[in-house]
Structure 1
Amino acid sequence: MIVFDGNKTDFLISVENDTIAEEIEYNIYQKMRKRTVINEFRSWENSLEYMYKVLNDSEIPEDTGIAIEYNIPQTSKRVDFILSGYDLDENPNVIIIELKQWDRIQAVESQDGLVETYTGNALRKVVHPSYQAWSYAMMIKDYNAFVQMERIHLWPCAYLHNYRRRPNDVLDQPQYYEYLKDSPAFTRGEVARFRKFIKGYILKGDNRRLIYRIDNGKIHPSKSLQNAISSMLKGNKEFVMLDEQKVVYEEILYQSRKCMRDNKKRTIIVSGGPGTGKTVVAINLLAELTQEDQFVQYVSKNTAPRNVYLKKLKGQMKKSTIDNMFKGSGIYTDTEKNSVDTILVDEAHRLNEKSGIFKNIGENQIKEIIHSSLCNVFFIDERQRVTLSDIGSVAEIEKWAKQENSEITKMKLMSQFRCDGSDGYLAWVDDVLEIEDTANYDLKDINYDVKICDTPEQVREFIMEKNHEANRARILAGYCWNWISAGKNDTSVHDIKIGEFEMSWNLGNTSTFAIDDDSVNEVGCIHTSQGLEFDYVGVIIGEDLRYEKGHVVTDFQKRAKTDRSLSGIKKMFKENPQKALKEADEIIKNTYRTLLTRGMKGCYIYCVDSGLREYLKERAALTEGENKKY
Structure 2
Amino acid sequence: MRQRFGRTTPESEMRAWNNSLIRMESVLSHSTVPDTAGIAIEYNIPYTSKRVDMIVSGKTSDDRNSAIIIELKQWSEVEAVEDKDGIVKTVLNGTLHETAHPSYQAWSYAAAIMDFNADVQDGNVLLKPCACLHNYNEIENDPLLDHIYDEYLERAPIFRKHDNRKLTDFIEKYIRKGDDLETIFMIDSGRLRPSKSLQDVLASMMKGNEEFILLDSQKVVYETILDAARKIEKGGKKSVIIVEGGPGTGKTVLAVNLLCTIINESMSAMYVSKNAAPRNVYKKKLKGSMRSTSVNQLFKGPDQFHQYENGILDVTLVDEAHRLREKSGMFGNLGENQIKEIMEASKLSVFFIDDDQRVTLKDIGSVDEIKKQAKKLGVHTTTLKLDSQFRCSGSDGYLAWLDNILEI
Q: Please, what TM-score do these two structures have when normalized by structure 1?
A: 0.56
Q: Is the 8 A contact 1:298 1:325 kept in 2?
A: yes
Contact 1:95 1:154 in 2 (8 A): yes
Q: Which residue of 2 aligns with 1:48?
A: 21
Q: 2:387 aligns with which of 409, 414, 418?
A: 414
The aligned runs of 1:616-627 (5 Å cut-off) are none
Which of these residues, 123, 135, 142, is aligned with residue 150 of structure 1? 123
Query: Secondary structure at 1:49's aligned position in 2?
Result: helix
Q: Secondary structure at the match of 2:382?
A: strand
Unmatched runs of 5 consecutive residues or more in structure 2: none
Who is 1:337 aligned against? Answer: 310
Provide closer, same or farther for how the CA distance between residues 216 and 124 of structure 1 changes in structure 2, counting only shifts above 3 A. same
1:242 to 215, 232, 239: 215
**1:397 is aligned to 2:390:** no
Alignment partners' CA distance in 1, 2:308 and 2:380? 21
Partners of 2:80 and 2:359 in 1: CA distance: 31
Q: Compare relative contact order (CA 8 Å, sep 6+) and give the higher one, 1 or 2.
A: 2
Q: Describe the SS at the equivalent of 1:330.
A: helix
Matched, 1:98 2:80: no
1:406 to 1:134, Cα distance in 2 relative to 1, 3 A = farther
Q: Is the 8 A contact 2:192 2:313 kept in 1?
A: no
Q: Could you tell me which residue of structure 2 aligns to residue 348 of structure 1?
A: 321
Letter in 2 for 1:243: D
2:194 and 2:266 in contact (8 A); partners too: yes
Number of the residue aligned with 1:222: 195
Is structure 2 residue 339 aligned with structure 1 residue 362?
A: no
Distance across 1 between alignment mates of 2:333 and 2:310: 21
SS at match of 1:276: coil
Structure 2 residue corresponding to 1:314, chosen from 268, 275, 287: 287
Aligned to 1:80, what secondary structure does the other structure show? strand
Aligned pairs (5 A) from 1:113-512: 129-161=102-134, 177-186=150-159, 190-317=163-290, 319=292, 321-387=294-360, 390-427=363-400, 429-430=402-403, 435-436=406-407
Counterpart of 2:197 in structure 1: which amino acid? S
Cα drift, residue 239 of structure 1: 1.0
Say whether the 8 Å CA contact 1:76–1:333 is kept in structure 2: no
Deviation at 1:169, TM superposition (A): 6.7
**Equivalenced residues, count:** 406
5+ residue gaps, structure 1: 1-24, 438-630
Is the 1:160–1:186 contact (alpha carbons within 8 Å) kept by the matching residues of 2? Answer: yes
- Residues 430 and 306 (structure 1), Cα distance of their counterparts in 2 relative to 1, 3 Å cut: same
The amino acid of 2:182's aligned partner reads R
Which residue of the partner structure matches residue 13 of structure 1? Answer: none
Aligned identity (percent) is: 53
* Whole-angstrom CA distance in 2 between matches of 1:116 and 1:264: 50
Change in CA separation of 1:312 and 1:150 when aligned onto 2, cut-off 3 Å: same
1:582-602 CA-to-partner distances (Å, cap 9, x unmatched) read xxxxxxxxxxxxxxxxxxxxx
What secondary structure, in the 3-state scheme, does the structure 2 residue paired with 1:301 have?
coil
1:74-120, Cα deviation, whole Å (9 max, x unpaired): 55554332112344565542112234566788888977656788889
Sort the Cα spacing of 1:299 and 1:133 in 2 relative to 1 into closer, same or farther, 3 A.
Answer: farther
| Distance in 1 between residues matched to 2:357 and 2:89, nearest whole Å | 31
Question: 1:229–1:322: 8 Å Cα contact kept in structure 2?
Answer: no
Structure 1 residues 159 and 359: alpha-carbon distance in aligned structure 2, compared to 1, 3 A threshold = farther
Q: CA 1:199 to 1:288, structure 2 compared with 1: closer, same or farther past 3 Å?
A: same
Query: How many Å separate the matches in 1 of 2:79 and 2:326?
Result: 32
Asked if the contact 2:387/2:396 (under 8 Å) is kept, the reply is no
Secondary structure of 1:400's counterpart equals: helix
* Paired residues of 1:74 and 1:340 also in contact (CA < 8 A): no
Task: Give, in whole Å, the separation in 2 of the partners of 1:121 and 1:365.
Answer: 37
Match of 2:10 in 1: 39
Q: Higher Cα Rg: structure 1 or 2?
A: 1
Q: Distance in 2 between matches of 1:124 and 1:391?
A: 37
- Aligned pair in 2 of structure 1 residues 167, 299: CA closer, same or farther (>3 Å)? farther
